[in-house]
Structure 1
Amino acid sequence: MTDTTEHVSATGAPAPAEPVTPVAGPRRRDVLHFALRNRKVVGGTVVILAFLVLGLVAPFFTDHGPNEYVGPPSSPPSADFWFGTTTFGQDVFLQFANGIRSTFVVGLLGGGLAGLIGMTIGFVAGYRGGLVDELLNMLTNIVLVLPALAVLIILHAYVGITSVPMQALFIGLFSWPWVARAVRAQTFSLRSREFVDLARLSGMRPLAVIRREIAPNMSSYLFMTFILLFGGAVLMAATLDFIGLGPTDVVSLGLMMNSAVHWSALHLGLWWWFVPPGAAITAIVGALYVMNVGLDEVFNPKLREM
């Protein structure tokens, strides 16, 4: 039987309920057809792509840096400065565009690393079982009960988070346990299927069995898991930046909100300084989770909209 227990990520978001068999040939076309008809998938994808294009393209159309003093201090949004300026005359829109780029980098690297670690441990533990499963499951439980935010704060105090890749590394190292448990449960169920037994009897090595037989049967599940990890990494990075524990050599959305609070933007009425980054984080993470729900409806025929 397939384990349909709902798993919860470190950010409190439910993981996908169950894996779906791989899509190939006509089935891939069917999935694409239903994905294009699903409003959640289309809407979430449009929002993510819009922010991604903005973050990649906008900085190339300016001749000054995001932290340069280029305009009158505390200027409201205008034709010259779309999102106004800070109390130091910095272009808020340019900071916003650069912050989006940093947000996507953290999401991709942090979510990708967490997914790689969690899926590797989950596949190996679920397929091998026995002592290997017990040891890996014990490691997973140890990391799972650690308060990730508190650990990251301690690491910052002793090591320091000096760059976006280092921040993504720390986030990824403490975001994988729920993925490992979910993948382990599904792998444990799939390893007793007939096609896995046939592959094993044919002399295929364990890693090849996992890569060629088990993982493809969980491809859609793994993809949705990465979406959740991406959103979780974005939220964690924004939290660290907001409390002043992120890298200071780049502009990020969380650091923009930190600077706005530090320089009393709320009391001064400079809403254009802190509203855009907060709204962007909410929109990006919300779009990812909405897209995840839509993909669950697409991959699961029972939930699919006809």
Structure 2
Amino acid sequence: MSQAVPDLGAPVQLRETRTVLRKFIGYVGARIGLSILAFVLVLAAVPSLLVGPLQTAANATGDFLASPNAQNILGTDEVGRDVLNLVVHGARVSLTIALVATVISLIVGTAIGMMSGYYRGRIDVWLMRVTDFFFIVPTFMLALVITPVFLEVLGRGGTILGFRPSLFVVILVIGLTSWGFVARIVRSQTLTLRERQFVDRARVVGSSDLGIMLRHILPNLVPQIAANGALVVAGAIYTETALSFLGLGDPLQPSWGTMLNLAQRAGAASVGAWWYLGAPGVCVLAVSLGFVLVGNALDDTFNPRRRAIP
């Protein structure tokens, strides 16, 4: 009568996961970054519970460009709206745009990088020439040229996949112009992984190229994709802020970049309304710093060749 062999895979995998988490949390930068992001994500998740519904010009109750006081902690804007209310609600818009755009960027970059590294040859050459274009041309400049064209084609009325056209276009443009770096990283890792024995064994048993890439190569790329994904989010926030500051955002769903655009139009800098410019500006810097710190900590955790100082 045969005895059942206990499955030790799950406990071993659990121990390895705990080791990786302890190493990641051991970095000071990781703890700082996670604290910043956790705080902002809470603000973005429940803005109405914290500061009430989004204020508009019709229901504004403060004075015009009033400095910070007991009633309005971060002062008011040019129409009397509470800047704190706008900042908290703007967190949801800015983070939604950045995260969805990053998902698009990671999907495109991972797909192109894997195909390029796995097939090599002519496919590799052509895909890398396309990647070089997006890698060399500044993402912001390319997005600045493409965004007005997309807005003209799609229009500004109605919704697209739940987003207003202006937000949808910004998300799409950022996602489709910021994948070059991800593709390069994924390609270099795929070139190494395709020569491993587990890939050769998969070929011997008759696995298709798509099956090998999805079942055997992609899981080994997840750590690098996650580490670089955090850095892509930081870049997406900067790009969205810059595009919205130039007037390509949606004024009905104000993001931090849209707030900076409105503050600039109201002449906040010239009249000394530092709170109007400072509040969204500090938020952009803090969230971007949080994602950069987390991304660097993930890279240090999964890349043994890097020697980071905890």
Structure 1 length as normaliser, TM-score?
A: 0.86
CA displacement, residues 114-136 of structure 1 (integer Å, 9 cap, x when unaligned):
11000001011111112222222
User: Counterpart in 1 of 2:69?
Assistant: 78
Measured in 2, the distance between the counterparts of 1:158 and 1:113 equals 20
The partner residue of 2:132 within 129, 133, 141 is 141
Within 5 Å, which residues of 2 pair with 1:30-179? 30-68=19-57, 69-160=60-151, 162-179=165-182
User: Counterpart in 2 of 1:280?
Assistant: 283
Amino acid at match of 2:188: A
> Is residue 140–residue 177 contact of structure 1 (8 Å, CA) maintained in 2?
yes
Amino acid at match of 1:169: L
| Stretch of structure 1 that moved more, 239-248 or 197-206 | 239-248
> Is residue 229–residue 295 contact of structure 2 (8 Å, CA) maintained in 1?
no
Report the identity percentage: 29
Structure whose alpha-carbon radius of gyration is higher: 2
Measured in 1, the distance between the counterparts of 2:142 and 2:295 equals 28
User: Counterpart in 2 of 1:191?
Assistant: 194
Measured in 2, the distance between the counterparts of 1:301 and 1:118 equals 23
> Is residue 54–residue 89 contact of structure 2 (8 Å, CA) maintained in 1?
no
The change in CA–CA distance for 1:101 and 1:145 in structure 2 (over 3 A counts) is: same
> Is residue 101–residue 171 contact of structure 2 (8 Å, CA) maintained in 1?
yes
Matched, 1:292 2:295: yes
Q: What CA RMSD, in Å, does the superposition of the two structures yield over aligned residues?
A: 2.0
Measured in 2, the distance between the counterparts of 1:254 and 1:261 equals 11
Amino acid at match of 2:254: V
**Structure 1 unmatched runs, 5+:** 1-22
Aligned length: 284
Higher relative contact order (CA 8 A, sep 6+): 1
Matched, 1:204 2:231: no
> Is residue 163–residue 249 contact of structure 1 (8 Å, CA) maintained in 2?
no
The change in CA–CA distance for 1:42 and 1:184 in structure 2 (over 3 A counts) is: same
CA displacement, residues 62-97 of structure 1 (integer Å, 9 cap, x when unaligned):
554332322222222223222111121011111101
User: Counterpart in 1 of 2:220?
Assistant: 217
User: Counterpart in 2 of 1:16?
Assistant: none
> Is residue 66–residue 251 contact of structure 1 (8 Å, CA) maintained in 2?
no
CA displacement, residues 151-198 of structure 1 (integer Å, 9 cap, x when unaligned):
322333333284323211111111111211221111011101111111
Amino acid at match of 1:48: L
> Is residue 41–residue 290 contact of structure 1 (8 Å, CA) maintained in 2?
yes
The change in CA–CA distance for 1:63 and 1:138 in structure 2 (over 3 A counts) is: closer
Measured in 1, the distance between the counterparts of 2:264 and 2:171 equals 24
